[in-house]
Amino acid sequence: MSTILIVEDEARIASFIAKGLKAAGFVPRTTSLGREAVELALQGDPDLILLDVGLPDISGFDVLTALRGQGVTTPVIMLTARSSVADRVAGLQGGADDYMPKPFSFEELLARVRLRLRAEPAPAEGTMTLTHHDLTLDIKTRRVDVAGTTVELSAREFSLLETFMRHPGQVLSREQLLSTVWGLDFDPGSNVVEVYVSYLRQKLGKERLRTVRGMGYRLE
């Protein structure tokens, strides 16, 4: 059974999440302190971490920085009452795998936990060729093959597909795609992500990129 470390200083919320995860077949562990969370993550090797931003000793962002700085690659889902795009981007760029603003439904949280746990490991940043089923992306030559046939992509389409192929099976939010492919200065209210996902579907096949309602997109 997968172990989930819950880092949350509100006892009611921590208990609610822990009971739900236990009922779903997971092994929950809880702490309300950021520094203790770092120690537990380093010693206990949890399968996933649910990390609140507002902790009494150090912030969730500091916890995330400490973990990633020590090479911990455990999936992290940030939990916070802060719903601004800037806070979401800060978490994602700091190494978080997902971001859930409070309040949230437990059903959605459980769905995201399961998605992260079954996601394939992301290829290393130095990898020059990415492969997913019959898709092949060569970063050096900027060539994309679909079932052995070369497909022409624009520079932005290529970057978007590369992002998906570095996170196969994971749901990527609009904000995560915007910050990764277009940068922080891009208008968060734009529909550019939807437009370019549509372009990729036209060129690669609409069944390859699935819309996960209310969450983002996933490479199938």
The pLDDT assigned to 108 comes to 82
The tokens describing 124, both together, are: 């290393």
**pLDDT means per 10 residues in the chain (220 residues)?**
90 90 88 94 88 91 89 87 65 77 81 76 62 87 89 88 84 76 60 89 90 85
pLDDT score recorded for residue 49: 95
Segment (H or E) for 50: strand 48-52
Instruction: Determine the pLDDT at residue 199.
Output: 92
In terms of Cα–Cα distance, which of 12, 3, 2 is closest to 32?
A: 12
Tokens 């409070």 found at: 102
pLDDT at 94: 73
pLDDT attached to residue 165? 86
Polymer length in residues for the chain: 220
Torsion of CA 64, 68, 73, 74, to 10 degrees: -20
DSSP 112-157: HHHHHHHSPPPPPTT-SEEEETTEEEETTTTEEEETTEEE---HHH
The C-alpha atoms of residue 46 and residue 6 are separated, in whole angstroms, by 10
Contact 34, 7 (CB under 8 A): yes
Which pLDDT score is estimated for 91?
Answer: 67
User: How confident is the model at residue 57, as a pLDDT?
Assistant: 93
- Dist. CA 159–CA 48, nearest whole Å: 28
- Taking residue 9's Cβ as centre, other Cβ atoms within 10 Å add up to 15
pLDDT at 197: 92
- Residues 96 and 88: their CA atoms lie apart, in Å, by 9
User: What is the reported pLDDT for 114?
Assistant: 85
